[in-house]
Structure 1
Amino acid sequence: MSTVMWPDHLLSLADWDALPEDNSRQYELAEGVLQVSPRPVSNHQWAITQLVIQLGTQLPADLAVLPDVEVVVVDSFPPTVRVPDVVVVPTAVAKGNPARYAAKDVLLAVEVISPGSRRIDRVTKVNEYAEAGIPDYWIVDLDNPVSITAFQLINGDYELNAEVDDVLSVTAPAPLTVNVRDLVP
């Protein structure tokens, strides 16, 4: 059995970059603290894939949808780096192939709730993403009935835009329609 050496201090972005690559778990950085969680299960991955497909077919050419990319929510020390399940960013930014995205470049962040992430997704990330200025935030809840809660940033705070368990229709970051029931197998 090998021993893993965990950081014993708050991490900077340089420390974050220096961590060894490990795809066996999911990692985020919250105010310099390394957060480790299990990789998402199949239904979670299914929902992400279906969202990427549905959004990708509707977005204009100047917007791109991407799964599982790093977003710097706070770049000052101690930094916060989140990994939303899905983001929409300008295509020009995505073509630059950044190692991570600045929050200012993210037009929509989507989190699919996992066991253990409900409070983080519904409370912590709502506040972090709003403070970072991400214009739209969606939460996908796979518990029956499957639903999407869509928030829009208004005057620095998220306001509920829609909460549906059938079809989500929004106008930002582009006119989009999501068949919620297709997000589970």
Structure 2
Amino acid sequence: MFTQAKVNRNVLEEEDMKLMTLEEFLDWYPDGYGRFELHNGVIITMQPTGTHEQVAGFLALELGVEIKRLNLPFFIPRQGIIKAIDSDKSGYIPDVMVLDSNALINEPMWKKRSTITQGISIKLAIEVVSTNWQDDYLMKLGEYEKIGIGEYWIIDYLGLGGRRYIGDPKQPTISVYYLVEGEYTVELFRGQDLVRSLAFPELNLVAEQIVQIGQ
């Protein structure tokens, strides 16, 4: 998840008067300029560091190679929004998202809005942790679970997350959440651990490979 700044509070004074719906947000979204999310009606601009982008880019490349190698019906969109399941005032953009091409026929907002409404369409969502780690470990973890995303990675290459999530002492950790009977279970990967993915069971990726990109 990118470092955040509040766009509407600093730039769009008129938007301070009321909270935006997702439809209004999508109408407002400036094509080709910036990257934004909607959190409970509030527009948030995402400001990635160069290192953050390197980590996300590395993961997208590795997953893309695996998709091509196995000829899977998946793809990684340049940018796509996930609609909150129980709110019309929230939408999220994962740092990396793998979509099932075959499932998009059942996505009513995809063709015109690049927006996903059903967890079954998402094979994997990845967030790269920045200083606002609570968004990834608290808000998005809960939202992605409710939406029904089968697999969610949190890439904490600096070990910023709370101790209840990554342990004590804090250290760089890859947390992989798997959806089991509607609830997430988690495995933690560090050092030379091979990251286990249900979406990509043949993926050969060691935790330290990811962490080193961010050093």
| Pair 1:143–1:171, CA change in 2 (3 A) | closer
User: Deviations 1:57-84 (Å, cap 9, x if unpaired)?
Assistant: 113321223454211122x543321000
For the 8 Å contact 2:20–2:89, the answer to whether it is kept is yes
Change in 2 beyond 3 A, CA 1:139/1:114: same
Question: Is 1:115 aligned with 2:131?
Answer: yes
Deviation at 1:12, TM superposition (A): 1.7
Q: 2:190 aligns with which of 133, 154, 164?
A: 164
TM-score (normalised: structure 2)? 0.72
Q: Aligned-pair distance for 1:91?
A: 2.9
**Hey, what does 1:182 align to over in structure 2?**
209
Q: Is 1:64–1:90's contact at 8 Å kept on the other side of the alignment?
A: yes
2:63 aligns to what? 55
User: Whose strand proportion is higher, 1 or 2?
Assistant: 1
Matched residue, 1:12: 21
Q: From 42, 67, 73, give the equivalent of 1:34.
A: 42
Which structure has more helix as a fraction of its residues?
2
1:137 aligns with 152
Q: How many residues align?
A: 181
Task: Name the SS of the counterpart of 1:178 in structure 2.
Answer: coil
- SS of 1:169 mapped into structure 2: coil
Distance 1:78 1:20, change over 3 A: closer
- Residues in 2 aligned to 1:72 and 1:3: alpha-carbon distance in whole angstroms: 24
> What are structure 1's unaligned runs of at least 5 residues?
none
Q: In structure 2, what is the equivalent of residue 102 of structure 1?
A: 117
Percent identical: 20
Which segment is superposed worse, 125-134 or 93-102? Answer: 93-102
Residue of 67, 82, 91 corresponding to 1:71: 82
State the alpha-carbon separation in 1 of the partners of residues 61 and 28 from structure 2: 31
Q: Is the 1:65–1:86 Cα contact (8 Å) retained in structure 2?
A: yes
TM-score by length of 1: 0.82
Q: Which segment is superposed worse, 163-172 or 140-149?
A: 163-172
Matches of 2:14 and 2:190, distance apart in 1: 41
Structure 1 residues 66 and 165: alpha-carbon distance in aligned structure 2, compared to 1, 3 A threshold: farther
C-alpha distance 30-167 of structure 1, shift in aligned 2 (>3 A): same
Q: Match of 2:36, SS?
A: strand
Structure 1 residue ranges (4+ consecutive) displaced by more than 4 angstroms after TM superposition: 22-25, 93-98
Rate the CA distance shift 1:15–1:93 in 2: closer, same or farther, 3 A: same
User: Please, which runs of 5 or more residues in structure 2 have no aligned partner?
Assistant: 1-9, 160-170
Q: In the TM superposition, what is the alpha-carbon distance from 1:123 to its structure 2 partner? A: 1.0
- Of 135-144 and 17-26, deviating more is 17-26
